[in-house]
Amino acid sequence: MKICVLPGDGIGPEVVGCAISVLKAVTDQLEFAEGGIGQAAYLECGSYLPDETVDLMRSCDSTLFGAVTTPDAPDYKSPVLRFRKELDLYANVRPVKTFARTTPAGPVDVVIVRENSEGMYTQNEVFDDSGVTTMRRVTRRACERIVTFAIDYALKNGRGTICCVHKANVLRASDGLFLSVFKEKMASEGKALRAEDQLVDSAGMHLVTDPGRFDMIVTLNLYGDVLSDVAAGVAGGLGFAPSGNIGDKHSVFEPAHGSAPDIAGKGRANPTAAILSGAMMLRHLGMPAHAQEIERTIASVYQSGHLTYDLGGRHGSESFTECVVRSLKSRESL
Ligand code: ATP
């Protein structure tokens, strides 16, 4: 299988390099082809996402992406939003799980499925004399396909309850549509699952005070973006949160964190989110045993006391990855 690799900016190349070392340690079935994205691509060819990169993404079985730095340029358009749109990656999946540090509120193990194609992220902002109006789009089609995706994911991955997170008490028409589609679909396609719903403000509080009450969340674009970082913070930090952008034909896996310019080049980034994104990619490509092996190994490396800098430990990106690779190689082959 051919994987497009987009290291990007900041800590992106560092953590993606670590993820590739781990992928190579579990399988020799992957072939990697690198593409340009972000500031380096802009300096080289004047585009934050060259057309050749999009073509490469389309031609590969999946993509592993690092991160890009957002420049302070007025004409800047996010390459991430562009590839999500061009490849129709309508579902953003963010599993958040406690690996190393248990919070006072207890362990976290929640999958957040976020609508990835519309909502507040249509970048449609209209200026007038008194301010700015941001257009937020919610369509029945997008609601239906994200809820169907979430149900399918829950059934395939052993999740029992889906909580729809919304603000339908205020945004009655738009979030109301999302909630009613959720109820319809759960009553038909999701009959085997338990359906719940919560207002986004209350869900934010519960993710902090009682994260164990959530099994899976399906929500709109902006709420999913915010809540997944809240959940990641509760579970140990951004260095632990992988994600997948998934459509019917294409997929892109990336750590949920950004390019972290403050620690770039220092070898201090926690590569766990990128490595777990690689594991998610393997599961998506039909290699669940390999994915599970990586997840189990990461958990056991942390349990045996190998902690990264963000947890107050002594491991930088490379030495932590070496521990994971050594541990994988010492196990029986898959
Ligand atoms: P960007 O503009 O690319 O979004 P940012 O610094 O605003 O960058 P993040 O990259 O998400 O946003 O980082 C937020 C904070 O979390 C930073 O202080 C960063 O150092 C820290 N951080 C992010 N990822 C990691 C990681 N993998 N390991 C350790 N710390 C991280």
Is the beta carbon of 300 within 6 A of some atom in ligand 1? no
Catalytic residue flag (residue 229): yes
Whether 28 is catalytic: no
Determine the pLDDT at residue 312.
86
One-letter identity of residue 81? L
The first and second tokens of residue 138, run together, are 């919610």
Angle of helix 272-284 relative to helix 317-329, nearest 10 degrees, comes to 40
Residues 6+ apart with CB under 8 A from 260: 10, 11, 67, 269
Q: How far apart are CA 17 and CA 24, in angstroms?
A: 11
Task: Tell me what the mean pLDDT of segment 253-271 comes to.
Answer: 95
Q: β-pairing, 31-34 with 131-134?
A: unpaired
DSSP 130-183: TEEEE--B--HHHHHHHHHHHHHHHHHTT--EEEEEE-TTTSTTHHHHHHHHHH
Q: With a cut of 60, say whether residue 307 has pLDDT above it.
A: yes
β 125-128/109-115 pair status: unpaired
At residue 165, does pLDDT exceed 70?
yes
Q: What does the pLDDT look like over 188-240, one tens digit per residue?
A: 999 999 999 999 999 999 999 999 999 999 999 999 999 999 999 898 888 89
Confidence category of residue 102, pLDDT binned at 50, 70, 90 = low
Residue 74: per-residue pLDDT: 80
Alpha helices, DSSP H only, in the chain?
A: 12-26, 39-45, 51-59, 79-86, 140-156, 174-188, 200-209, 221-235, 272-284, 288-303, 317-329
Query: Is the CB–ligand 1 distance for residue 258 below 6 Å?
Result: yes
What is the predicted pLDDT for the residue at 333? 46
Going by the DSSP 8-state scheme, the letter that residue 238 receives in this structure is G
Residue with tokens 């992957």: 30
Task: Give yes or no for residue 163 having a pLDDT over 70.
Answer: yes
Atom of ligand 1 nearest to the CA of 272: 27
Q: Which residue, chain included where needed, has tokens 């990855």?
A: 321
User: Is the CB–ligand 1 distance for residue 269 below 6 Å?
Assistant: yes
Nearest-atom number in ligand 1 for the CA of 262 is 20
Q: For residue 120, with 0-12 CB atoms within 10 Å meaning exposed, 13-18 middle and 19 or more buried, which class applies? A: middle
pLDDT digits (tens, 9 = 90+) for 7-44: 999 999 999 999 999 999 999 999 999 999 999 899 99
Tokens describing residue 291? 């994915």
Both tokens of 187, joined, read 């009553």
- Ligand 1 pocket mutation, candidates 238, 240, 310, criterion most atoms within 8 A of CB: 238
Output phi, psi for 166, to 5 deg. -155, 180
Left (φ > 0), alpha (ψ -120 to 50) or beta: where does 10 sit? Answer: left
What is the Å distance from ligand 1's center to 257 Cα?
6
Do the beta carbons of residue 37 and residue 25 sit within 8 Å?
A: no
Catalytic residue among 152, 201, 210, 248: 201
pLDDT: is 123 or 20 the higher one?
Answer: 20
d(CA 182, CA 165) in angstroms, rounded, equals 10
Output the pLDDT for position 115. 97
Write down the pTM of the prediction: 0.93
Catalytic residue (choose from 9, 215, 225, 310): 225
CA-nearest of 11, 65, 8 to 42 is: 8
The Cα–Cα gap between 216 and 297 comes to 24
CA distance 65 to 48: 14
What strand order describes the sheet that includes 31-34?
31-34, 2-8, 62-67, 251-255, 242-246, 91-97, 109-115, 216-219, 161-166, 194-199
Calpha distance 256→131 (Å, rounded): 31
Nearest to 111 by CA among 228, 240, 230: 228
Q: What is the pLDDT of residue 42?
A: 93
> Does residue 318 have a pLDDT over 70?
yes
d(CA 308, CA 319): 9
Average pLDDT over residues 301-305: 90
Residue 298 burial (CB count, 10 A): 26
